Structure 1
Amino acid sequence: MFSQIDLNLGAYLGIMADVRKLFLECAKALDAELPGLGDDVRRLADLPPNRAFEEYLKLVDKVARLRVSREKRNVLLMILWRYGAQIEECIVPPQFRYFKIRGRPFRLVDSKLVAFLFIVFFLFPAIISSLWSFNTSYTIAHPNEPVTFSTHLCSYRLSWLYDFRAAMVCVIKEGIGEVYFNLGTSDPFEASRRIQAIISRIPYDMRRLKFSEPYIQTPEETLRRNMGVCSDFAILGASVLLHNNVSPVYIVHTVFRGDETGGHAAMAIYYNGTLWVFDWGSKSVPFEDFINTMGKYAEIEEVRIYELTGEEVRLVTVYRARRERDWWRYIYALTIFLGIAFMKRKEWKLI
């Protein structure tokens, strides 16, 4: 390697001295952690730099296989990697780490290119996502249509086991699996807060999230199993509120783009002209704040608001996200290519 670089004797001896010093420092650091291991490194100090570095890499592999505790092995490897990087800096100067094209160095990646890619793939998308939100780009529909399901089929649990809309009808309207208990207040907002506190103490069933469409539990099943998911908690809360003379009660069903688990559901009520959402494990918030929070986790495709009374379930409002156009993707890709080509134009002319 050194014959190719055409270094003079003084520079070569200087490199050997620097490498030897690093080997001795590394050996001392290793002995402090595992006595005797530093001797293997000290023997490398008298070898030619290139060969010494090859043996050093073999030593790293040897240490990685040592029968010591994981913590001890990690400490030893960190020491070897730290000094190994410094030794490599001495043996292979930076200007010779690039490709050579027509006798000149050529780098595929440099600091300017890394900065450009950071702006394109991280900073720019972050700014765009902060400017665009579901609250500023949606259409509203007011279907105000009843949600129906066969009364006869409600008695067959499997017929609506995976159907959230049918589950609301069978539980709220037909009374399948309902539970009754007094919340001890006539104020709708306070009653909602109390049932929210109750359901928030029930553990979330994370295992059911593995299913593409988690099955729906009745309120009785949720309390008996002491475990559930968002749809179970929403139906349970709505059922209890209706039995405490809080009517109508609303369920906010948020559907995310590309999500196959059925989205997220939470109960809500109108109080003083504002739709308040009472979600599992969180505080009561207005509908707009709730949607802003949901939008931070995933891209919202649709929000459906159901109105529940003791007699029926109605889909009253639907918020749909506006579909984005794809032309900007091509402009985005073209911008990336032109930016890279502009920064590397001087080097690419050599090819």
Structure 2
Amino acid sequence: MEAKDKISDIIEAYALRIRALGYPIVSKALEVWKSRIMSEDVDFTEKDVLFDEYLHLLADVELSKIPREDKNKLLQTLWKCGSEIEDVLVREGFIKPPYLFIGKKPRRLRHIVSPWLLLGLFLSFLLIGMSFSVISNFSNHETIEVNETIEVNPMICEHEVYWRYNFQRAIYCVFQGNTLKEVSKIAQSLKGKNELQTCHNILSLTAQFPYDPTREFRNDVFIQTPMETLQMRSGICSDFALLTVALLLDNNISPVYLLHVEFKRDIPGGGHAVAAVNINGTYYVLDQYPPPKPLYEFLSNFDGIKEISKVTIYEVDKNRGIKKIRILKAREYRNNPVPYFMLLLAFGIVWKKREDWIFI
């Protein structure tokens, strides 16, 4: 079995363990990392090719708002996963072992470390801690009423390159065409006894389509039309959100809503997209898998994992009028312990590496 296959098996096993701990989002991030390793021509001999991305994952978990006890379990599990992957790379000869074997006794390889390097380490960790010490508090967000009608030049919709990579333009262009006619046959087969049952049926359909993590890391993340998603039987969050809205509208559930959830420190144009409906005064979010979840329960669960910075809410009605109606914006506050935590982390690295380093 090749190194990639062994690493893939290790990651899958630890992803299942993390999912069992009750954090599928972290498990999914691990699976996305595995997809990148498997899909790209990764050269394991290249310095830090896996290390940098793995540290990113650990940092995301550490800076998340997961309860401390659960966070410690997750970090321990991820460190064990990394340790097993390192062992595979050492055995396969991709990286050098941290020990030099002379006879039967291992002798640790030691590296000379200057005080300037140590000072740079501590200063870097202090600056990183200061930059990450502002935390978004979405539970106490401010609501900004917008009520702005979305209008896009029709010429833009004729040229896919202008709207396939912009969520707001995609909403407009997708629902200006024959989208509802294209999905009508499938939409009617999902009609339930009431609106909530119809929503559940739609989510049962989208749950059958696998999420495509490889598209998340492309420089040109394009958006599919609802019909393309049905044909491809896979997609990303924006694809499933647009498909859900189209199926709801064709079942005379109107207006429906699209939410663009943006996270702090996310890439430009990143975030998460979901559909939502208002049933008897309660807003329900439809996020690929059943059941529909009340809006603030959904946002609270997400905010418990990643820091939400902003939620933009669009309204799409049966007449295909599209409005940006509301923005929910997190309030920010300074989290003073973070710089001290980062300094403690730097000290921990020095303490763990004291047997490897010769200080001069």
TM-score w.r.t. the length of structure 1 is: 0.55
Unaligned runs of 5+ in 2: 1-86, 94-103, 107-128, 349-360
1:243 paired residue number: 250
Q: Is the 8 A contact 1:173 1:312 kept in 2?
A: no
- Aligned-pair CA distance for 1:271: 1.0
Counterpart mapping for 1:208-223 below 5 A: 208-212=215-219, 214-223=221-230
Q: Equivalent residue of 1:143, what SS?
A: strand
| The one of 333, 341, 345 aligned to 1:324 | 333
* Residues 1:330 and 1:273: Cα distance change in structure 2 (over 3 Å): closer
Cα displacement (A) at 1:311: 2.4
Structure 1's 281 and 329: CA in aligned 2 closer, same or farther, altered over 3 A? same
CA distance in 1, matches of 2:196, 2:314: 18
Q: After superposition, give the CA deviation of every residue in 1:317-340 in whole Å (9 maximum; x if it has no partner).
A: 1111113348x369858997xxx9
Tell me the secondary structure at the aligned position of residue 179 of structure 1: helix
User: How far does residue 273 in structure 1 lie from its aligned partner after superposition?
Assistant: 0.9
Which residue, 188, 192, 195 being the options, matches 2:195?
188
2:286 equivalent to 1:278: yes
Letter in 2 for 1:266: V
Separation in 1, partners of 2:262, 2:158? 28
Structure 2 Cα separation of the partners of residues 216 and 190 of structure 1: 28
> Which residue number corresponds to residue 173 of structure 2?
170
Q: Is 2:324 the partner of 1:315?
A: yes
Task: Write the distance in 1 (CA, Å) between the matches of 2:225 and 2:219.
Answer: 19
Q: Secondary structure at the match of 1:144?
A: strand
Calculate percent identity across the aligned residue pairs: 30
Structure 1 runs (4+) greater than 4 angstroms displaced? 329-336
**Is 1:296 equivalent to 2:296 in the alignment?**
no
Change (3 A) 1:304 1:184: same
In 2: Cα distance, 1:164 partner to 1:69 partner: 44
Higher helix share: 1
Return closer, same or farther for 1:325/1:222 CA change in 2, 3 Å cut-off. Answer: same
Aligned: 1:202 with 2:209: yes
CA drift of 1:175 comes to: 3.3
SS at match of 2:175: helix
> How far does residue 242 in structure 1 lie from its aligned partner after superposition?
0.4
User: Residue in 2 aligned with 1:155?
Assistant: 158
Aligned-pair RMSD on alpha carbons?
4.0
Secondary structure of the corresponding residue to residue 323 of structure 2: strand
| Residues 213 and 321 of structure 1, relative CA distance in 2, 3 Å threshold | farther
| Alpha carbons of structure 1 residues 284 and 213: separation in structure 2 relative to 1, 3 Å | farther
Give the aligned residue type for 1:162: Y
> Which segment drifts farther, 283-292 or 204-213?
204-213
Q: Would the aligned equivalents of 1:305 and 1:317 in 2 still touch at CA under 8 Å?
A: yes
- What is the CA deviation profile of residues 142-190 of structure 1, one whole-angstrom value per residue up to 9, with x for unaligned ones? 1011122122321222210101111111112333584222023362211
Separation of aligned partners in 2, 1:212 and 1:296: 28
* 1:264-303 deviation digits (Å, cap 9, x = unpaired): 0111101121110011135311111101121133111101
Residue-pair matches, total? 225
Out of 274, 279, 282, the position equivalent to 1:266 is 274
Q: Which amino acid aligns with 1:278?
A: L
Output the CA distance in 1 between the equivalents of 2:177 and 2:154: 7
Bigger relative contact order, structure 1 or 2 (CA pairs below 8 A, ≥6 apart): 2
Rounded to whole Å, the distance in 1 between the matches of 2:262 and 2:342 is: 32
Q: 1:228 aligns with which of 210, 222, 235?
A: 235
